Amino acid sequence: MTLDRRTFLKTSAVVGGGLSLGLPALANAFGSDGVRLAAYRPETGSAQPKPLRILILGGTGFIGPYQVQYALDRKHQVTLFNRGQTNSNLFPGVPRLVGDRNAPDGHAALKSGSWDLVIDNPTTNPKWVRGAGEALKGRVGQYIFVSTISVFSDYSKPGMDENGPLHQPTDIDKPFDRAGQFYGPNKVRSEMEAVAQFGRDKVTIVRPGLIVGPGDLSDRFSYWPVRIDKGGEILAPGTPNDPVQYIDAHDLSEWIVRLGETRTTGTFNATGPKSPTTIAEMLYGIKSVTSSDAKFTWVPADFLAQHQVRAWSEMPVWQPGQGPTAGFMAIDCRKAYAAGLTCRPLADTAKATLDWYKTRPAAEQERARAGIAPEKEKAVLAAWHAKNG
């Protein structure tokens, strides 16, 4: 399968940190008081930390609520800054500063007060980072910016670490363009602006891969538990040995809070699992939490391309394991694991995601944003069997 640069950027534009899209209420993942309904948590070996004053920019979208709940569980003082429009019912007891980061003086509410830690959740507009930095100047102990592995410009080689080649950054002084092809370049500029505003010794940059779990309305990972649970013959992409990477929203969010507790700075690629994982291991691992009779039929990348089956969107959590995407799902994250990142078992993520998905309104389930349509899946499988007798 051959991807031109423009097509690849479009298919990968919303990986990782780019999930802050004004998501609806997370009432199915959190109670009305903000308390998480499912609370699996791996042992971190850390004692009760010193309480921190934490400011979370956002905090009510996808990963934000997990950060808030974990910080509250660990007795930190949390303040939220957002527009007060997304999931406004969450965490009613947590102080909230209101501001629209797109407005000329949208960060005005941040001009008073001081914090040990500021977490800036998936921000794509570098002007937001500059605005936060100017408003908070001199009153922040540590600033954590949630970036993305989409900052890299070349995925042809597996094992790329934090020093991999980056996109040319966008011009912050030009009008902001959020189109997919600018996602990575905007994140590069945002990272640069974070360092310029807060100083390198106070900045932590976290570059997640695909973030998954309850509350993710992109439907990319959830396509697989849902489809496998339905059973029958399933179109499986590429080869069973193609690599995959993803990070559970709980694990990412909780580790980000711990980075603040330990005052860990620097840049970290942050995806998982810790050990190399294949698409076959992921799909069979998901099947293990169901009673499904699912059977996987592996169809090569070139055949999928011939039948206009798109990687990442129609075949989620997958890119061809060769050519220009050979390293897209093989990012080196050893630095993050050395700094305390942990990953829960796939079975926990898959079961929690499937249970959450089944609580969503039927209309939402029918409007899945990712995954191949059933009719198209049947047609491609029929063509593959016809070719191979």
State the Cα–Cα distance between residues 331 and 363, nearest whole angstrom: 36
| Distance from chain centroid for Cα 177 | 21
Tokens of 201: 């010794």
Rounded mean pLDDT, 353-370: 90
Q: What is the pLDDT of residue 46?
A: 60
**For residue 62, which phi and psi values (nearest 5 degrees)?**
-95, -65
Q: What is the mean pLDDT of residues 211-223?
A: 93
pLDDT at 364: 84
> Taking CA 237 as the corner, what is the angle to CA 231 and CA 241, rounded to the nearest 5 degrees?
105
- Are 252 and 342 within 8 A, CB to CB? no
The predicted pLDDT at position 28 comes to: 44
Can you say whether residue 276 is alpha, beta or left, with left for phi > 0 and alpha for psi between -120 and 50 degrees?
Answer: beta
Residues in a beta bridge with 279: none
pLDDT of residue 36: 45
Q: How many residues comprise the chain?
A: 389
Whether the CB-CB separation of 270 and 336 falls below 8 Å is answered with yes
Alpha helices, DSSP H, located in the chain: 5-12, 64-73, 126-136, 183-198, 223-230, 249-261, 279-287, 301-306, 334-338, 346-358, 362-366, 374-387
* Share above pLDDT 90 across residues of the chain, in percent, rounded to a whole number: 80
Cis peptide leading into residue 95 (ω within 30°): no
Predicted confidence at residue 5, as pLDDT, reads: 34
Residue with tokens 């976290």: 206
CA of 200: how far to CAs of 132, 337, 363, in Å?
A: 16, 21, 46
DSSP code of 61? S
Does 160 or 39 have the greater pLDDT score? 160
Q: Assess whether pLDDT exceeds 60 at residue 360.
A: yes
Token reading at 199: 């100083």
Whether the Cβ atoms of residue 194 and residue 143 lie closer than 8 Å to each other: yes
Question: Please, where are the H alpha helices in 262-343?
Answer: 279-287, 301-306, 334-338
Token reading at 99: 């501001």
Q: What is the pLDDT of residue 4?
A: 36
* Residue 51 pLDDT > 50: yes
Q: Which residues contact 251 (CB under 8 A, 6 or more apart)?
A: 42, 272, 341, 342, 343, 344
Q: Are 342 and 44 in contact (CB under 8 A)?
A: yes
Per-domain boundaries in the chain: 5-387
Q: 165-190: per-residue pLDDT in tens?
A: 999 999 999 999 989 899 999 999 99
pLDDT score recorded for residue 363 = 85
Contact criterion met (CB below 8 Å) for 86 and 22: yes
Angle of CA points 249, 255, 256, to nearest 5°: 90
- Residue 32's pLDDT is what? 37
Among the CATH numbers 3.40.50.720, 3.30.413.10, 3.10.129.10, 3.40.630.40, which is that of 5-387? 3.40.50.720
> Which helix (H) or strand (E) covers residue 278, if one does?
strand 272-278
**Could you give phi then psi for residue 253, rounded to 5 degrees?**
-65, -45
Q: Give per-residue pLDDT as tens, 223-248.
A: 999 999 999 999 999 999 999 999 99
pLDDT of residue 365: 84
The yes-or-no verdict on residue 25 having pLDDT over 80 is no
First-to-final CA distance of the chain: 23
Encoded amino acid at 41, one letter: R
More confident residue, 35 or 207: 207
**What would the mean pLDDT of 306-323 be, rounded to a whole number?**
97
Q: Average the pLDDT over 244-272 and give the result.
A: 98
Among 59, 62, 67, CA closest to 28? 62
Mean pLDDT, rounded, for 98-115: 95
21-25, 198-202, 218-222, 252-256, range with the lowest pLDDT: 21-25
pLDDT of 35: 37
Residue 88: pLDDT band with limits 50, 70, 90: confident
pLDDT band at 348 (very low <50, low <70, confident <90, very high): very high
Q: How far apart are CA 129 and CA 186, in angstroms?
A: 11
The CA distance from 264 to 117, in Å, is 11
Mean of per-residue pLDDT scores for the chain? 89
